[in-house]
Amino acid sequence: MQDTIELLKECNSGVKMGVSAIDEVIDHVEDSRLESILKKSSEEHSKIGSEVHMLLNEYGESEKEPNPMAKGMSGMSLARRPAHLRDLLTKRQ
């Protein structure tokens, strides 16, 4: 059970980091299609975050905040490379 809790905490942290990264770049997006993709992705991340939060509450556990250093580095990297971000988010497999 402890492994499940740790996995949920990591998922929670990752979701928060994802939403934060999207929030940092969305105001700089000029392509309406990309903006729509980012908004949808943020909404999906938030929904997953809510579900993970509920599961953590069921186990009586608290959320895990993203590592501030990783969060800051992610934001700086994304801010410098909007074209790279666009390519990552719109790439179809």
Between CA 13 and CA 91 the distance in angstroms is 24
DSSP codes, 6-23: HHHHHHHHHHHHHHHHHH
Q: Would you say residue 8 has pLDDT above 90?
A: yes
Query: In which domain, by residue range, is 58 found?
Result: 2-90
Predicted pLDDT of residue 46 = 94
Total structural domains within the chain: 1
Residues 41-61: tens digit of each pLDDT: 999 999 999 999 999 999 998
Between CA 92 and CA 87 the distance in angstroms is 10
Predicted pLDDT of residue 76 = 55
Predicted pLDDT of residue 58 = 94
Residues 52-92: tens digit of each pLDDT: 999 999 999 887 776 666 555 555 555 455 666 656 655 54
State the burial class of residue 51 (Cβ atoms within 10 Å of its Cβ: 0-12, 13-18, 19+): middle
Predicted pLDDT of residue 5 = 92
Question: Cα 5–7–8 angle (5° rounding)?
Answer: 65
> Do 20 and 75 meet the contact criterion of CB atoms below 8 Å apart?
yes
Q: What is the mean pLDDT of residues 28-32?
A: 84
pLDDT band at 93 (very low <50, low <70, confident <90, very high): very low
